[in-house]
Structure 1
């Protein structure tokens, strides 16, 4: 299956002062619990500086990934914005999108993003509904130019750690909604990453995993699709289970009262 065509990547030339957005910061800090990392082959494009008024090596990248079923009968392309610290001349100035093997810590892009942060993060002429996740690159390995025919419709793997919020053995589904930390948390964005984990009907999974609500688990699985509401916001990412590790229930340490009080 050929992935959808992508638009040319923007130049890294800094904008003029009249184009530089007026960015305000928020001091609110969301709570973080759990972790989500995606590993996959992506088309990287639309490189842009994080601080366009003072160009340096910190950049935003658009990462195009392709979720699909094991038989490739369906394909659900998703785009994420990831941060990266660019080494000199690591990205070309041409218009041909490049293919990379990517690992990134991610969170779902929230629907209600302040306009100031939209201006900072989103490329011009794009809206929040065009994207699925935000994240920080932890690995970028160059593969080649997209025009050279490299296979990019590879199934990305999601590694998820968090508490189970729902279990349905009849439908062979359980849900996790961690609140992972990324650098976008510094901008005051709420962190959420809802997943529906589908347990395949196979010999390996004849017995449904012994899961309980509130139990802490670590899950690895292949991305299948993304569910969105009518307004374009993300409901959840569907993942086919490959591995699950039961880690017990989170517990608070006992509170000790100091002596002499």
Structure 2
């Protein structure tokens, strides 16, 4: 089921990279400092169309991207021809003999099998290797805008989708008992979006992709009307959490 859900995003492979905010360069600096330099190799799990790949290339390490959705993998390979792209679920991927020194996962940790993701990450890493898991939390600078958008979503589709805490994966990795020196680094940015850009972003969210087409259009119309009511711009309070951990040597 998790693998099926993870492949929802292939429907929007063409707009995903344009719609989703990227990651701050400081995130790469934090990974490099934690690892103690540039890793000899880096594997990114659930790379999608390459939103995080673009930032992770700044590490300067040779990269392999593991992505289960063929549509996403195709876009990824076109955008980053220097990166090896393996089109397979992480659960079915075979790491190189001896493992890799660094493993990253951006906004895809929750799509991996919760029963095995930590063990597979541990087994993929060399002793002393670095695990870097990170993702965004989308909030709003103006509480009135947050309330209006919440009302717009609920007016069309009152179904509630469970929201995790910003750093839920810190607890997930720590509770596995497999990793040492688990720590969190947080970044925050204001990201202004006009009505069309916000609608494109909403199109890429998994709750939206689970809705039937007619309901998707009604949701987009409702949130578009809400942003138009603010004057045509909403400012995201974009919170990025990076969790770093080490396989004990």
Sort the TM-score into its range (normalised by shorter chain): under 0.3
TM-score by length of 1: 0.25
The TM-score normalised by the length of structure 2 is 0.26
- Greater per-residue strand proportion: 1
User: Which has more radius of gyration?
Assistant: 1
